[in-house]
Amino acid sequence: MSGMTLSAASLYDRVQRVIPAIEWPVFSDDIDAILKLKRERNAVILAHNYQTPEIFHCVADIVGDSLALARKAMEVEADVIVLAGVHFMAETAKLLNPSKTVLIPDMRAGCSLADSITPQDIRLLRQRYPGVPVVTYVNTSAAVKAESDICCTSGNAKAVVESLGVPRVLMLPDEYLAQNIAKQTDVEIIAWKGHCEVHERFTPEDIREMRAAHPGVTVLAHPECPPEVVAEADFAGSTAAMSDYVGREKPASVVLVTECSMSDNVAVEHPDVEFIRPCNLCPHMKRITLGNIRSALERNEHAVTIDPTVAARARLAVERMLAV
């Protein structure tokens, strides 16, 4: 989105299927202010697929899954990147484009997976499994990435694991992602015990109940869900892969077994598809609002910084992933 000729009034059409008209006045002032601030500050907004539709469809310049946001962050030429997502995403953007000011509107936007593992845990695992490469999910701190051989996302985990040409890898910290990938490859995968607090709550019974209530519904699940849940789904993939699936297959009705805002964002693009919406909210993603994006740009808050020695090593792990 260029932002040059847009205004909140002209943007409402885009989201009117998912934002009631009565709610729009709450957003429009912030949207106009953000569009203006982006021009003044030469800033771009990168938004994850779990951001609310008024952010995703009305102020973001670049949207996508974790992998796409990392790739696109590297190419940003603007002076300022506002990351509408969680802290590890902002850190990844800073790692890949260190000369830019990278802002996260709320420093508390964390992630249960990132919180589940420390650099010291990885050092201990290396002692326990000498010579076994460490593949780290991007949903981790830069300090954890710095202890890793290579990163992965849900969009490229299998390719990353297989690119190493070894019989065994440690894949951290998401136990369920590791188990789901293990089913697709001959590489032995040693997992950690971290979980996404949003996806771990879905159960196989949830899926069976959805199918019973909505016969014929297509079920797409994120691979952070437990393997028993993925086994009940028609397809599992990253947030971008789920979105692409809807665009490609155009199911009559679909349920996205993932964070709530994803369905709103994809529904905007596909008016002919019926979205069934049992979902779980990510409290971290929901910390980002139009209000704090606006104040991030007004006050230059909160700039992401990474210790240079940590950054150099963490960048290597992310760049190795991007080279796969």
Residue 249 near residue 165, CB atoms below 8 Å: no
Kindly state whether residue 180 participates in binding ligand 13P, applying the rule CB under 6 A: no
Q: Name the residue nearer to ligand SF4 (CB basis): 8 or 220.
A: 220
User: Which amino acid appears at position 234 of this protein?
Assistant: D
Q: Which residues 193-252 are close enough to bind ligand SF4 by CB under 6 A?
A: 196-198, 224
Residue 47 pairs in a beta bridge with 63, 84
Burial of 34-56, coded b for 16+ CB within 10 Å and e otherwise, reads: bbebbeebebbbbbbbbbbbbbb
77: its two tokens: 């030429």
- Near ligand SF4 by CB under 6 A: residue from 92, 112, 154, 265: 112
Kindly state whether residue 154 participates in binding ligand 13P, applying the rule CB under 6 A: yes
Kindly state whether residue 260 participates in binding ligand SF4, applying the rule CB under 6 A: no
61: its two tokens: 């310049």
Kindly state whether residue 94 participates in binding ligand SF4, applying the rule CB under 6 A: no
Distance in Å, CB of 48 to ligand SF4, minimum: 8
What is the phi-psi region of residue 136: left when phi exceeds 0, alpha when psi lies from -120 to 50, beta otherwise? beta
Kindly state whether residue 92 participates in binding ligand 13P, applying the rule CB under 6 A: no
Q: With CB under 6 A as the contact rule, which of the stretches 99-107, 151-159, 266-274, 309-317 interacts with ligand 13P?
A: 151-159
DSSP state of 174: B
Kindly state whether residue 65 participates in binding ligand SF4, applying the rule CB under 6 A: no
> What is the three-state SS of 267-318?
HHHCCCCEEECCCECCCCHHHCCHHHHHHHHHHCCCECCCCHHHHHHHHHHH
- Near ligand 13P by CB under 6 A: residue from 92, 136, 153, 156: 153
Neighbours of 126 (CB within 10 A): 16
Q: Name the residue nearer to ligand SF4 (CB basis): 35 or 177.
A: 177
Kindly state whether residue 261 participates in binding ligand 13P, applying the rule CB under 6 A: no
Q: Which of 317, 283, 277, 265 is nearest to 63 (CA)?
A: 265
Name the binder of 153 from ligand 13P, ligand SF4, none, CB < 5-8 A by kind. ligand 13P
- CA angle centred on 62, ends 57 and 68, rounded to 5°: 125
Distance in Å, CB of 117 to ligand SF4, minimum: 13
Distance in Å, CB of 293 to ligand SF4, minimum: 17
Residue 226 near residue 242, CB atoms below 8 Å: no
Kindly state whether residue 116 participates in binding ligand 13P, applying the rule CB under 6 A: no
Residue 219 near residue 232, CB atoms below 8 Å: yes
Q: With CB under 6 A as the contact rule, which of the stretches 117-125, 128-136, 263-271, 281-289 interacts with ligand SF4?
A: 281-289
Kindly state whether residue 66 participates in binding ligand 13P, applying the rule CB under 6 A: yes
DSSP state of 169: E
Chain positions contacting ligand SF4, by CB under 6 A: 86, 111-113, 139, 196-198, 224, 259, 282, 284-285
Chain positions contacting ligand 13P, by CB under 6 A: 49, 65-66, 153-155, 224, 238-239
